[in-house]
Structure 1
Amino acid sequence: LAAGQSVFATLAEHDVLVHHPYDSFEATVQRLLVEAADDPDVAAIKLTLYRAGGRSRIVDALARAVERGKEVFVFVELKARFDEERNIEWAHKLEQAGIRVVYGLVEIKTHAKTALIVRREQGALRRYVHIGTGNYNAATAEMYTDIGLLSADPALGADLHDLFNELSGSSRPPQAAFRRILVAPTSLLKRLIELVEREAEHARAAGSGRIRAKLNGLADSDLIVALYRASQAGVDVDLVVRGVCTLRPGVPGLSERIRVVSILGRFLEHARIYHFANGGDAEYYIGSADWRPRNLRRRVEVVTPVRDPACCRRLDAILEAELADPTAWELEPDGGYGRRPPEPGADGRGSQERLLDLASATA
């Protein structure tokens, strides 16, 4: 985001993909919300709050927005593990500031990372969105790798408008027929399986197919079965999974075309990216959901397609860099992990180090 231009002016021209901590959280996502709070043309700000952390400039900006007559709505998840007490404190502070606060849904966590800004422009209302993989927390944004999409796409704006209407007016998980976003626990798992099966159909028809995904965990049995079937149909499945993975790659007759790597480094890998080659018409998605039962079946999660060509190219580069990371750990068919052996004369830097060097060179 250019320092001398309004965030809204930039997003009116094109989407922006941010990759923390290589892109500053304060200069991108936090800047969007602070600018919205201070902009006299902004009418409303809405967001989900899962882990805000300690002192938060975003929360300060929301309080300032209310003082300036803006509608501010915050959905606070009180069941965020290890942060229950802190989130209760934040909810009370938000309410004391005059912000409308809604607490988590009954028996289900809201893990989505979404923000909606409504702005008056030329006699009409325009919506701006942030949909990401990480919390609205400047401290963890320096330690976790996360992805976020900033956009003025009308369809995404309409989807988040409907999402927040449901979160504020119902105790059930969102039931709306969304235009673009995929939402758990209602539609995300079904659509993911359809996308995997579509890739298998491409492989059967044309002899090739590819799925790439970056996740924190993979353990949903139905999705794993779909991936096994895709592998058997000829789809190459390349996965970056930081944590638990109950899929077994490289098993003859079952998962020979699947490989799984895990990256450990200075930062905690936290982003979620899905890519489906789709016969040359590639589709990219980012969002809050891992491929685990708790995310796909028992939480409110939001995943968005990414359509801007420059944003898609950046997601492709991230996936390729991590899959080729010379320091990665490879999951073996027996469930054990082995460190990739160094290649003589090759660049031995890991993907995190390379991305840091690139960020420094382009700063």
Structure 2
Amino acid sequence: MSTEFSTPKLVTKLPNVGTTIFTVMSTLAAEKGAVNLGQGFPDFDCDPHLIDAVNQSMRRGLNQYPPMPGVVVLREAIAAKIKSLYGVNYNPASEITITAGATQAIITAILAVVHAGDEVIVLEPCYDSYLPNIELAGGIAVRVPLTPGTFRPDFDKITAAISSKTRAIIINSPHNPSGMVWSKEDILRLQEILASTNILVIADEVYEHLVYDGAQHQSVASFPGLAARSFVVSSFGKTYHVTGWKIGYVAAPASLSAEFRKVHQYNVFTVNTPVQYGVADYMNNPQPYLQLSAFYQKKRDLFREGLKYTKFTLLPCEGTYFQCVDISAVSDLSDIEFCKWLTTEIGVAAITLSAFYADGFDQRVVRFCFAKKEATLHAALARLASL
């Protein structure tokens, strides 16, 4: 007598999530031997001194569980950095938490504060984790478009989106995918709008050190009316060219951090011990992050100069390591079909901007990542020159 077993059928919690465009384009790039300027990560190594610092931590026996919020020396180093850059004091004991990258930080903040039926304002285009995170928390995403072309925040639309159910707003500056950077006036306007509300802010500032042309990153931490209601998220992966290490942090007032840590304790508990100690040691020298804007501006300028010889229309790139271009003068294809054609026929992979909108809004704009070796950028530009 044989018994057949079947796997129970599930009702998915994320019915709108499938294979991402990042996976599709990276796979296609590999198949076609294309230069991959799609996904946002460097193709060069980090500073060997950072590797040495982590290796020394391992050899010192720092390989067991660290404290749940993160090792003390790293939290203290982060607090000192924030004080130096933004002039605000965060208590490393109660207001800074080390996370397994910024993506984990964002979902943890959302799960900590969003209840079923709460609304969260999201400014599109946006990083692809925001909407699924809200859905998993039982919240309702209220999508507000950034201004097409410039991608600047539209504060009239943001104000109109606020309701009695609004629990939080997610902002991202410097902005992925557009490269737009919020100005001081933008931040002050948001502070004014939220002043009479109980709305929380989740500020995705992972590209805080990638701001160009002499501009300064305006962290919400610098603005008391926002700092008091904000989770400020940053990423060592972006800052130190180690995206695969998945280490970041959140700075937030003690009461918000306490709720954040309740969730953090059970979805990650804590983060890789020797990496934490190694990063803390490496942070003794601030020059790597202080010089990062100049490092990437050189790559941005090289890439933009090369693109001038194509029919692409270059959009502004005020920060991040992404360059968006309008393809209207190059092709009549949709942005998705154009990226597939570009990868297959020209040998350069890019990412569609429509992938960063829930409704797939196609503005005929695609995004390139220039966090690459100069040789990689020259190779891509040589192929793009045919356009």
TM-score (norm 2): 0.28
Structure with the largest fraction of strand: 1
Higher helix share: 2
Q: Which has the higher contact order (CA 8 A, sep 6+)?
A: 2
